[in-house]
Amino acid sequence: MDLRQIFHSEYELLFMEAAGFAGKGGLEMFFRAALLTLGLNVVCAIHAQSQHVEVVAKDLPEPVPVEGRDIALVFDDGPLSSTTPQVLDLLKKFGMHATFSVVGKNVEAFPDIAKRIAADGHEIVNQTYSHPDPELTSHEDFLAEVDRAQEVIRKITGVSPVYFCPPDGELRDDLVLLVRSKGYLILEPTLDSGDWRSPPAGEVGRVVLEGVTPGAVILFHDSFPKSVAELPGIVEKLSQRGYRSLTLSELRSGAKKGK
C-alpha cells in the first residue's frame, strides 16, 4: 500500500463516520476530514515531485560503450506465472533478448517459466534465493542466499549465472566485495524505469524513451502487472527507433574495446 492509498482510506473512513454522526461530533469529524484532504494534496504533490527528481537524478553508471543501437533490457524479481510469460511473448515477437534477474524461490515455484527464459535465449541473473534485505542479513547468510539461488537455477534451467543482482538495487561495498570474491559480476543498470515506484500510467514509457541511449542497461520489473501492461508500447517504440535488446553478456562482449 502506498502513501496515497493510506491517506485515501483514512479520509474515506472519516467521511463515513461523519455521515453516521449527524449530530454530536459530526461537524468536528467533517473538519478533520477536510483538513486531511488538504494534507493529502500536499503530501501527494511532494511525493510526485520527489519521484520525478529521483528518477532523473539517481546516480547510475554510464551506458556501456557500444557500436550501433544495442541495449539490454533487464527484468527483476520474477519469474511469475501472472506476468513473465507475457514479457517472454513480447520479446519473442520483436526478436529481442533480455536479462532476467530471478529470485531463487520463484524459479522453484515456476520451473517451466524459468526453463523457457533460458530456452528463449535470455540471460539469467542470480538475485538471491528469497530476496532478503541485505542490511538485515549477515555475510554468512547473504552468501548462503546467493549459493542457494545459484544451485536452484542450475538444477532447473541448466544455466549457471555469471551475474549477480543486489535485491534492492544497491549493495554495500563489503557485500559487493563478498559477492565478487565468489566470482560473480555485479549487474548495474544504467537507466531505471522507475516502475517499482508505481508511477502514473505513461510515466515508465516517458522515462525509458527519453532516457534511452545506445548501451543502456534498463531496469524493469516483470513482477509489476502495471509495468508489464505498458511494455508492448515501449518495446515497439524502442524497436521503431532502431534499438535492439541483447543479453547483458552479449552487450558487454560487443562493447567497444579500450573504453
**Active site residues per annotation:** 76, 221
Provide the minimum distance between the beta carbon of 209 and Zn ion in the complex, in angstroms, as a whole number.
23
Stretch that binds Zn ion, among 68-76, 90-98, 173-181, 226-234 (CB under 5 A): 68-76
Is the CB of residue 84 less than 8 Å from the CB of residue 78? yes
Cβ neighbours of residue 128 closer than 8 Å, sequence gap 6 or more: 103, 104, 142, 145, 146, 149, 167
| Residue from the set 18, 71, 77, 117 that interacts with Zn ion by CB under 5 A | 77
Provide the minimum distance between the beta carbon of 167 and Zn ion in the complex, in angstroms, as a whole number.
5
Strand-pair partners of 70 = 244
Please report, as residue ranges, which positions from 125 to 184 form the binding site for Zn ion (by CB under 5 A).
Answer: 167
Listed in order, strand segments (DSSP E) in the chain are: 70-76, 99-102, 123-126, 163-164, 185-186, 191-192, 217-221, 244-245
When the beta carbons of 134 and 167 are compared against Zn ion, the nearer one is 167
When the beta carbons of 66 and 217 are compared against Zn ion, the nearer one is 217
When the beta carbons of 165 and 207 are compared against Zn ion, the nearer one is 165
| C-beta nearest to Zn ion: residue | 77
Stretch that binds Zn ion, among 72-80, 110-118, 136-144, 236-244 (CB under 5 A): 72-80
Provide the minimum distance between the beta carbon of 40 and Zn ion in the complex, in angstroms, as a whole number.
30
Provide the minimum distance between the beta carbon of 163 and Zn ion in the complex, in angstroms, as a whole number.
14
| Residue from the set 70, 76, 123, 145 that interacts with Zn ion by CB under 5 A | 76
- Our finding on whether 222 is near Zn ion (CB under 5 A) is no
| Radius of gyration (C-alpha) of the chain in whole angstroms | 22
Is the CB of residue 123 less than 8 Å from the CB of residue 252? no
For Zn ion, how many residues bind (rule: CB under 5 A)?
3
Cβ neighbours of residue 248 closer than 8 Å, sequence gap 6 or more: 72, 74, 99, 123, 125, 163, 187, 217
Provide the minimum distance between the beta carbon of 165 and Zn ion in the complex, in angstroms, as a whole number.
7
For 239-250, b/e burial (b = at least 16 CB within 10 A) is: eeeebbbbbbbb
Interface residues with Zn ion (CB under 5 A) are 76-77, 167
